[in-house]
Structure formats: C-alpha cells, structure tokens
Amino acid sequence: RVPLLQAARKKNSLNLLGLTEAELEEQFVRGDGPGGQATNKTNNCVVLKHIPSGIVVKCHQTRSVEQNRKLAREILQEKVDLFYKGEASDVFKEKKASEKKKQEKKRRAKENLERKKHLKELQKLDKK
C-alpha cells in the first residue's frame, strides 16, 4: 500500500479541495543543501502550514520566493486533498495508475531478458 502523503506531487489532478489563505500559515526561512552563499544568505525557502489539518510543506526548489510560494501551495493542496479524501483522491488514483504502469513495464522487460537468454542458449546448442 502506498503511503498517502508520499503520493502527492502528481500533475493533472482536477478535483482537488480548495485552500483559502485564512487556513494557511506561511513563513520564509533560509534554505539548505548545495548552493553556497546563494542559498545560505537568502530567505527564499517557503514553509507552508495548513492549520486545520496540521500538514506542513517546505519548498526550496527554485531561487525565486514567488515560484517557491506557488509550488508550495500546489504541493500542499494535493497533500490536503489526499488527507481528506484518502484513496478516493485523484492524486492517489494517478499514483496507483503510474505504479501499475511501471510494474507492467518492468515485467515486460524481464520477459524480454528471459527470451534473449533462452535464444542464446538455443544458439549455443545449435553450434555444438
């Protein structure tokens, strides 16, 4: 089973629950990770908290505060949708579908590899 909050961040979700600015608590903090002075001296990391559910999102994907604010809201909206709707959420359904597709691709690749091995063995037997 897929943990619900890890399924977030999938695109093309249409029926997400709406968020109001009154429900959000926003902070700007210093980011971490690689980037040196550009990261360590600027407060462009956005920490967004949905007060009713207690879900917190930290976004430091770009150097721009505005882009990080937008991304944080998108991520938070998807996580809140998952939190309230659970397995009925579009985000969860997309995650399951992509996981199933990935497993099918893996299975086909494994079958092809087995066929190739079998073909090589037959070719070796024919040479003898």
- Kindly report, residue by residue over 1-16, the tens digit of the pLDDT: 444 444 455 455 456 7
What is this structure's pTM? Answer: 0.63
DSSP tally for the chain: helices H, then strands E: 3, 3
Based on the structure, what is the number of domains in the chain? 2
pLDDT in tens, 45-83: 999 999 999 999 999 988 889 999 999 998 998 888 888
Asked if 74 and 104 sit in the same domain, the reply is no
Q: What is the pLDDT of residue 13?
A: 46
DSSP three-state, residue 128: coil
Q: DSSP readout, 1-57?
A: ---GGGG---S---SPPP--GGGEEEEEE---SS-THHHHT---EEEEEETTTTEEE
Instruction: Give me the domain span that covers residue 77.
Output: 21-86
Asked if 99 and 69 sit in the same domain, the reply is no
Q: Which residues pair with 45 in a beta bridge?
A: 29
Q: Indicate whether 12 belongs to any domain.
A: no
